[in-house]
Chain A
Amino acid sequence: MNAVTESKVRMITGPEATNIALDEALAADPYVLVFGEDVADGQGGGIVHGTKGLSDKYGSLRVRSTPISEQAILGAAVGAAIGGMRPVAEIMLMNFLTVGMDQLVNHAAKIRFMSGGQTGVPLTIRTMSGAGGGFGGQHSDMLEAWLAHIPGLKVVVPSDPTELKGLLTACIFDDNPCVVVESTMMAMSGMKSPAPEPGFRIPLGKANVAREGSDVSVIGYGRPIAEAHSVAEQLEGQGISVEVIDLRTIAPLDMKTVLASVAKTKRAVIVHEAVRNFGVGAEIAAHINEELFGELAAPVRRIASKNTPVPYSASLEKAFLLSAADLETAIRSTLERK
């Protein structure tokens, strides 16, 4: 988390971070293309205005709204990438990605391998998701584990607007297909973090030790990183030192940084917003057990959302989502064991 106390630092929201990254990329490379449903200015510049002003500035040849046609959007991204472009396609919400999954799974992810390296697909898919806004079962799923399961894709889930800017820029200029999962609640809540310097990018495939600690490692990504920081802050006052690892990139997964942290603290709590079963947390826990089984002071814990569709009713949605209290309880439980 890029928290800041100096009032003169310019603060940006998630959609502003997106806009800055896209604007810079369009200016830097004439072959960067931006497209998706309602992204052009005539259609509002995106549902959360992440693409506002870009079609006016760069023209409709490079920044265009598309029909509601996810297969056509993702297919065009694949083809444009093979044709030498750096397409940045928006799939408005992550659940809509399922409609065009063929292009992502069977083509974008595999074309470099299946062609023996003759063709590459340097595309970026931007999408948005997360529960908490009352959008129910088909507009809120976090499906990053689906994507991370496909060899050939890079998957990033930024934890704040500054991170989003740096990771999105890195994805656009990466020569592999990348998916950036932006957060609906980050956009809706108006969450802000400092605006980075122009050109700021964060290396893909490298986790960030967001807070150093010595008693227990909390490993996560995306929105729960903010909760991890607040829980760590609170526990600090009680003499418990929590290290927070922000994975940033789910695939490739930087287990080196995670294992170094857990080797130090001997305790690990993994946190993600996606449902628990078969999630990214299971993969990380398996790696930790494979590498550090004999050194652990407590079993690896996973904190995640409940294994149900995302419910509508606010009370149920709250019960579904992981909470800071769940995280705190899990951290304490790892410390109770000798």
Chain B
Amino acid sequence: MQAGQPTGAVKTGVPVGDPDRAVLIDIYSRASLIRQCCDRFASVIRSGRIAAPYYSPRGQEIVAASMGGALKADDYLITIYRGLHDHLAKGVPLRELWAEYAGRATGSCKGKGGPMHITHPASGVVVTTGIVGSGIPIANGLGWASLVKEDGKVTVTSFGDGASNIGAFHEGLNLASLWKLPVVFLCQNNRYAEHTSYELGTASPTIAGRSSSYSMPGVRVDGNDPVAMWKAFRAAIDRARAGDGPTLIEAMTFRFDGHVFGDAGDYIPKEEYAEAIANDPVPAFRKWLLENDTATEAELAAIESDIADRLTDAVEFALASPYPEDSELRYDVLLEEIEP
């Protein structure tokens, strides 16, 4: 696979080598899980069994899977409403994830947060926000806490290209660089901010290039290339853990299902859509693994079949779970019970 055009170099003490076979298989497992979960979610929503606002990350699987493969289990992740791929890549359990989408008491947030606010601290997923750009300043606080506690954790905060035009991006990157915080800013550039194209909304030619304003390394990477993505993450994560400060990664990607599920994407040129779908990243990665003798057909089929079974179990679990009691309104507004 070919790396994208870097716009800067992430300097670390030790150069990052290529991922080994175990890492590649791990990334594929995470990517396949995301892909299958997206497909399953689309079919369940179409069947009417779950009604939820769904911001599909289809097409962005490799970005998240590479991140999941490069982070430690207890590193922090902050993501956004289009975050299903990030949640899965970081290890949020399928049953709790699906039950939360279905609004059930067994969901990761007891049905109080929903798809846009998935939280699962045990997997490191500490915040999912529905407000564009807001996760950026929050990441700095987690990074600062890690410096105070000396826990060695890295915080990744994931956002879209549209978020780079909100003030919080500027304030957040400036402070992170000033304070040398152990944070990785992951911009998943899927070329559209809601319905507005990158060119119509963003004056700078790249997001990565904006990093120079903050004396911070910035790299633009092909988000469909797991080798390049993993190496970019490793370099940024190593740099953060070493105390050298933050990095901005711009992962070039594309969203296949429009802004919100049901959006036909009429504002996207047909040729752009066709080209993206022809380069659907998970099948391409699969093909590459087989062609390079990194994995066998039987091995990948077993991984995929196991995921399919786990998804079936998660869907059944979610749909069989009870809705939360109305009395839940009394709890979690404050630490103490309230009279709502």
Q: Are B144 and A112 in contact (CB under 8 A)?
A: no
The yes or no answer to A190 lying at the interface (CB within 8 A) is no
The yes or no answer to A237 lying at the interface (CB within 8 A) is no
The yes or no answer to A85 lying at the interface (CB within 8 A) is yes
Q: Which of B199-227 contact A (CB under 8 A)?
A: none
Minimum Cβ distance to chain A for residue B307 (Å): 25
Chain A residue nearest to B116 (CB atoms) is A114
Other-chain residue from B121, B137, B155 in contact with A118 (beta carbon distance below 8 A): B121
Q: Are A71 and B129 in contact (CB under 8 A)?
A: no
Minimum Cβ distance to chain A for residue B143 (Å): 7
Other-chain residue from A74, A111, A115, A152 in contact with B137 (beta carbon distance below 8 A): A74
Tell me which of B40-48, B105-113, B246-254, B311-319 binds A. Answer: B105-113
The yes or no answer to B308 lying at the interface (CB within 8 A) is no
Q: Are A83 and B145 in contact (CB under 8 A)?
A: yes
Contacts of B145 in A (CB 8 A): 31, 79-80, 82-85
A67 to B108 alpha-carbon distance, docked (Å): 36
Q: Output the residue of A61, A75, A80, A176 with the most chain B CB within 10 A.
A: A75
Other-chain residue from A70, A83, A115 in contact with B119 (beta carbon distance below 8 A): A115
Tell me which of A48-56, A90-98, A100-108, A284-292 binds B. Answer: A100-108
Minimum Cβ distance to chain B for residue A59 (Å): 10
A74 to B168 alpha-carbon distance, docked (Å): 11
**With A61-B148, A116-B108 known to touch, is A75 a contact of B140 (CB < 8 Å)?**
yes
Contacts of B197 in A (CB 8 A): none
A79 to B108 alpha-carbon distance, docked (Å): 20
Contacts of A62 in B (CB 8 A): 148
Minimum Cβ distance to chain B for residue A335 (Å): 33
Other-chain residue from A71, A77, A114, A151 in contact with B112 (beta carbon distance below 8 A): A114
Other-chain residue from A75, A85, A154 in contact with B138 (beta carbon distance below 8 A): A75
The yes or no answer to B71 lying at the interface (CB within 8 A) is no
Q: Which of B99-148 contact A (CB under 8 A)?
A: 107-113, 117, 119-121, 126-127, 129-131, 134, 136-148
Q: Are B333 and A82 in contact (CB under 8 A)?
A: no
**With A67-B175, A76-B141, A79-B144 known to touch, is A119 a contact of B126 (CB < 8 Å)?**
yes
The yes or no answer to A218 lying at the interface (CB within 8 A) is no
The yes or no answer to B270 lying at the interface (CB within 8 A) is no
The yes or no answer to B326 lying at the interface (CB within 8 A) is no
- 14 additional A-B residue pairs with CB within 8 Å, beyond A79-B138, A106-B129, A151-B333: A67-B174, A70-B171, A71-B167, A71-B171, A75-B138, A76-B138, A76-B140, A79-B139, A79-B143, A106-B134, A107-B131, A112-B332, A113-B112, A115-B109
Give residues in B with beta carbon < 8 Å to A: 76, 78, 107-113, 117, 119-121, 126-127, 129-131, 134, 136-149, 155, 167-168, 171-172, 174-175, 178-179, 331-335, 338, 340
A-B contact pairs, 18 of them (CB 8 A): A31-B149, A69-B174, A71-B137, A71-B171, A72-B171, A75-B141, A76-B144, A81-B141, A82-B141, A83-B149, A102-B131, A115-B332, A116-B119, A117-B332, A118-B108, A118-B121, A154-B334, A252-B338
